[in-house]
Amino acid sequence: MRAMRLDYFVAHATGLTRSQARDLIRRGAVRVDGQASVRANLRLSGETVYLDDAPLALPGHQYLMLHKPTGVVCSTDDPGHRTVLDLIPTALRRDLHSAGRLDLDTTGLVLLTSDGQWSHRITSPNTHCPKRYRVDVARPLTPAALEQLAVGVVLRDDPTPTRPASVQLLSDTRLNLTISEGRYHQVKRMLAAVGNHVVALHREAIGAVALDADLPEGQWRALSRSEIDTFQ
């Protein structure tokens, strides 16, 4: 995580200046979880910050990119697994949800937001937002299979062919696949439909927003204004 400093967080949550926030921290008015904190440069990870016993939250909507590791679910509540929200500081979690989901064993880009209209533009079947995946498969890919994936395949239990996809072969058993739908387990089912099997799946991009190459698994960062605006 690009951890947020305590004084920055208090200033943004309260509308005070950084130096006013530092004053509050020095005076012991700010608690981080149970502890009165006097360190303005404390790096927050998952803690709740209180000012005079009231929990603080950042105003406005949040827009984040997360590098999802395997073993983490995209739902916000799961009794059996860690969720994507467990990787985000408590202060940012209010109303946060993922704009589309990845399977438990899929890694890569997840966009998280508290803005339901914004996430709807990404996930709505009507907007055809492209999502690019790096796909590793069990058996060498044939030209015929690549052609079928590009044109559209019929998935098991679903008579409507998939929309045309963009396909780029990276090696015998690796491809980039860009799809503009979000059907259940779509990539895995597409590869099954051409007689192959996905062994690893990683999402690299959603629309014009690509996962930072230097963002480690399990880490997040806030989206820039221009990244947010690409989905307006």
* Interacting residues toward ligand URA by CB under 6 A: 102-103, 106, 185-188, 201
Residue 35 DSSP SS3: strand
Query: Residues 162, 164, 167, CA angle at the centre, nearest 5°?
Result: 110
Residue with tokens 């704009």: 99
Query: Residues 149, 153, 159, CA angle at the centre, nearest 5°?
Result: 165
CB of 176 to ligand URA, least distance (A): 13
If the CB atoms of residues 1 and 73 are measured against ligand URA, the closer one turns out to be: 73
If the CB atoms of residues 72 and 102 are measured against ligand URA, the closer one turns out to be: 102
Which of 52, 103, 157, 158 is the catalytic position? 103
If the CB atoms of residues 89 and 108 are measured against ligand URA, the closer one turns out to be: 108
Q: How many angstroms separate the Cα of 28 from the Cα of each of 8, 12, 89?
A: 16, 18, 22
CB of 106 to ligand URA, least distance (A): 3
Residues 6+ apart with CB under 8 A from 119: 97, 98, 99, 100, 111, 113
- Asked if 79 contacts 48 with a C-beta cutoff of 8 angstroms, the reply is no
Is 103 a catalytic site residue?
yes
CB of 193 to ligand URA, least distance (A): 12
If the CB atoms of residues 102 and 141 are measured against ligand URA, the closer one turns out to be: 102
Distance spanning both ends of the chain, measured CA to CA: 26
Which residues are tagged catalytic?
103
